[in-house]
Structure 1
Amino acid sequence: MVAFSQTPWSRYRVRSISLPARSHPSTIRVEQQLAKLRSLDSSSFSSIEAICSSLSGLVELYRCINEVLNLPLPQQALAVLRGEIWVQELVDNSVRFLDICDNTRDAILVIKESIRDLQSAIRRSKYEDSGVENSITSYICSRKRIKHESLKKSITSLRQTDYTAGASPPLQIENEVTAAVIRVLREASSVTSSIFNSLLSFLAVPMNRRPKPSRWTLVSRLVQKGAITRNNHTERINELVNLDMAIDRLQLESLNRDGEAKEKIQSMIRERLQGLDWSIERIERGTEGLFRELIHTRVCLLNILSQ
């Protein structure tokens, strides 16, 4: 199982982060958006709704940051320190976040396609037919593959970001404008790392399955997951885990050869797949929007430092 580090958002926190040119609306919105994202409870990021909200906030944050980076004072402040470690850290993070976002987009696309394949198979046939069995196997394999390929690379990159941030020397800049710009960009990086951690943790939920599980293996797994004893509380669980539990129950009913029970479980799976498909699309839109803003941020930084 992959272990995720939790980025402490207080790592870069200072008593006051006041950007220059406060009369400009973009500078005020950056501070407001950072305050919103800092107030989010990272322990609640186990649902798609919470993740979508955080992604939306992150997109707006970078949109405002990009507007600020086009202002003369911030540009001058960063240009003066183009050779300093604090500025290089920001440039390096811009590359890492772009790569992480791109890998995450690829993983989401694979999940979405496997969900739709499973939807089609369940609509077309009953569980006895190989179509559904093959689609379930394909879905499980896709989840495992993205966890160990795309998501693993992103997790490693995030750890490097966290390590670099922890090893970075204290900010010692006399110019108030320059210090404020660096501080706010570093805190944006900290918040971004934390939200990516939550998103990757959600997508990489464990998939510990055997190709042909026995009846008692399935019963044991369902009890451990709470699908039998706590079925009324499944809405509080990661939506991907909810779907896993429904698939486990379908496999159990297949072993019982109870046609009516299987039809009920298939109906449940169809409902959860439909909701999950819509939710994954929302995450996809969020990561697409974030990717565009991150590209803009990197271009702004490179343009400023090349002056």
Structure 2
Amino acid sequence: MASSPLRSKLIYHARSVSLPSRPHPLIPQVNEHLSSVDNKLSSLKDMYNCLDDLLLLPHTQKVFAQLCHEKWVEEALDGYLRLLDVCAAAKDVSSQTKQDVQGLLSVLRRRRETNYFSGYLASRMKAKKAIQKSLKDLKSIKSKNTGLASDKDCKTLEIVVLLNEVEAATVGVFESLLSYVAGTKMQSRLGGFSLVSKLMHRKGVDEETNANEFEKFDDVLQTLTDHRTSKTDSIIHIESLRNQLGEMELSIQELEKGLESLFRRLIKTRVSLLNILNH
């Protein structure tokens, strides 16, 4: 992962400190997970495990206790709360999509009439609107400007930078996952659909067309709903749709597990921050 502006600021300020100190071993561990978060979703969980261990250190708790009224502390709490909201929204979307997929599979097993598909298309449109709102919320999280005061010691700056970079990495993962489910060709800073394949350990991405099963599903469903095909072609499209639904079911199951795990990690991190500030 390329060096971020936050890390550049840290290096600049660290040079101005006359008495350099060695970082706690947990800080390099978190940095290591940050650099590998684009390889698998479990790296994100491991990253939060290390972050929580870091928050339990006496020095970290002392930093928060002394600086609890500063802007960056409030922004850190607010940022993780907003990530929780986005994660909850993503869980709702994945749950609804799973219900739609299962319902549509049930319809396809009983009948082949295309007039039953319009309701599922409407549900997909609703899910996409929810995703767009979440993506907008993520954009606002990224656009915040966390101030780093130059009079802080190196260890304090390391904690500030680390919290913000963990948050930024989480935002990048959410962007890719939500865009993946929306079936859009969004390319995040972490690699778009190719990232999602790695995150979920699946090959749900077509390397040549950069399309995933959700995008293909939308195309087939739209074609059937518009009644633009002959009866023979409709049967072919329905078979294609059934195959896409099978792929989607597998993806959604893995997505739900990943989101639930991440949701629990975000809650734990925010609770850790609140506990530090309240003691």
TM-score, structure 1 normalization: 0.72
Maintained 8 Å contact 1:234/1:242: no
Task: Identify the match of residue 134 of structure 2 among 143, 151, 154.
Answer: 154
Q: Cα gap change, 1:235/1:57 in structure 2, threshold over 3 Å: closer, same or farther?
A: farther
In the alignment, the residues of structure 1 paired with residue 44 and residue 108 of structure 2 have an alpha-carbon distance, to the nearest angstrom, of 36
In the alignment, the residues of structure 2 paired with residue 304 and residue 268 of structure 1 have an alpha-carbon distance, to the nearest angstrom, of 54
Aligned-partner SS, 1:13 = helix
Aligned-partner SS, 2:144 = helix
Task: For 2:123, give the aligned amino acid.
Answer: S
Runs of 4+ in 1 over 6 A off after TM superposition: 232-235
Partner of 2:91: 105
Partner of 2:221: 247
Identity among equivalent positions (%) equals 30
| 2:272 pairs with 1:297 | no
1:36 offset after TM fit, Å? 1.2
Q: Cα gap change, 1:277/1:59 in structure 2, threshold over 3 Å: closer, same or farther?
A: same
Partner of 2:36: 36
Question: What 5-or-longer segments of structure 1 have no aligned partner?
Answer: 1-7, 41-49, 207-231
In the alignment, the residues of structure 1 paired with residue 105 and residue 209 of structure 2 have an alpha-carbon distance, to the nearest angstrom, of 20
1:19 offset after TM fit, Å? 8.3
Maintained 8 Å contact 1:77/1:178: yes
Residue by residue over 1:79-124, the C-alpha shift from the partner in whole angstroms, topping out at 9 and shown as x without a partner, is 2211111111111101100111101110111111101111111112
Partner of 1:228: none
Larger deviation, residues 13-22 vs 84-93: 13-22
Tell me: higher relative CO, structure 1 or 2? Use CA pairs within 8 A at least 6 residues apart: 1
Q: CA RMSD in A?
A: 2.8
Q: Cα gap change, 1:60/1:139 in structure 2, threshold over 3 Å: closer, same or farther?
A: farther
Q: Cα gap change, 1:19/1:203 in structure 2, threshold over 3 Å: closer, same or farther?
A: farther
| 2:243 pairs with 1:271 | yes
Q: How many residues align?
A: 248
1:252 offset after TM fit, Å? 7.6
1:144 offset after TM fit, Å? 1.1
Task: Identify the match of residue 257 of structure 1 among 212, 223, 231.
Answer: 231
| 2:10 pairs with 1:10 | no
Maintained 8 Å contact 2:182/2:215: no
Aligned-partner SS, 1:57 = helix
Partner of 2:190: none
Question: What 5-or-longer segments of structure 2 have no aligned partner?
Answer: 15-20, 185-205
Aligned positions of 1:164-183 closer than 5 A: 164-165=144-145, 168-183=146-161
1:285 offset after TM fit, Å? 0.8
Q: Cα gap change, 1:29/1:20 in structure 2, threshold over 3 Å: closer, same or farther?
A: same
Maintained 8 Å contact 2:224/2:237: yes
TM-score, structure 2 normalization: 0.78
| 2:64 pairs with 1:73 | no
1:296 offset after TM fit, Å? 0.3
In the alignment, the residues of structure 1 paired with residue 36 and residue 181 of structure 2 have an alpha-carbon distance, to the nearest angstrom, of 24
In the alignment, the residues of structure 2 paired with residue 123 and residue 173 of structure 1 have an alpha-carbon distance, to the nearest angstrom, of 67
